[in-house]
Amino acid sequence: MTYRVCFVCTGNICRSPMAESVFRARVAEAGLDGLIEVDSAGTGGWHEGDGADPRTVAVLEENGYDSVHTARQFDPAWFSRLDLVIALDSSHLKALRRLAPTERDADKVRLLRSYDTAAGDDLDVPDPYYGDTDGFEACLEMVEAAAGHLLAAVREQVEGRAA
């Protein structure tokens, strides 16, 4: 049975596609790409149908990640098929938990940086949209720092299902 993870930010053109790309690479490196499905969405639909922000694409490609992406808005009906919904900041966490049809669905929503043991108290990945390339590079560093720990947690869930 496939384990499904969806990363969510505001417009699905900066942070969540970056997290999706990095996590998909980690899943493939671990040989789990047949067991874990990864995608992303935004809390709003302003950029629906657009590609990722060119700065996101540049930072991903410079670091060896895939950058193919089409933005879309998160649909609350997806909760029924998702195992884990990863919010990129606390505003997304709150919005997604409000959208959740059930308490069980709300429990599926987690902050990405909560998986980074070195993150400290600030668990938000700042929105780089209004800044320069440095913000996108910092975003990638935060995503990469959490991705391995997130993969370990997801792997545990996947292996628990197989047992």
Residue tagged active-site, from 33, 50, 66, 127: 127
Residue tagged active-site, from 6, 14, 15, 124: 15
Report how far apart, in Å, the C-alpha atoms of 128 and of each of 7, 69, 140 are.
16, 18, 10
Active site residue 97: no
161 and 84 in contact (C-beta within 8 Å)?
no
Active site residue 24: no
DSSP 89-119: SHHHHHHHHHH-SSHHHHTTEEEGGGG-TT-
Report how far apart, in Å, the C-alpha atoms of 10 and of each of 7, 27, 32 are.
10, 24, 28
Residue tagged active-site, from 9, 83, 89, 110: 9
Active site residue 15: yes
- Residue 126: HSE in the Cβ half-sphere, 13 Å Cα cutoff: 13
Positions marked active-site: 9, 15, 127
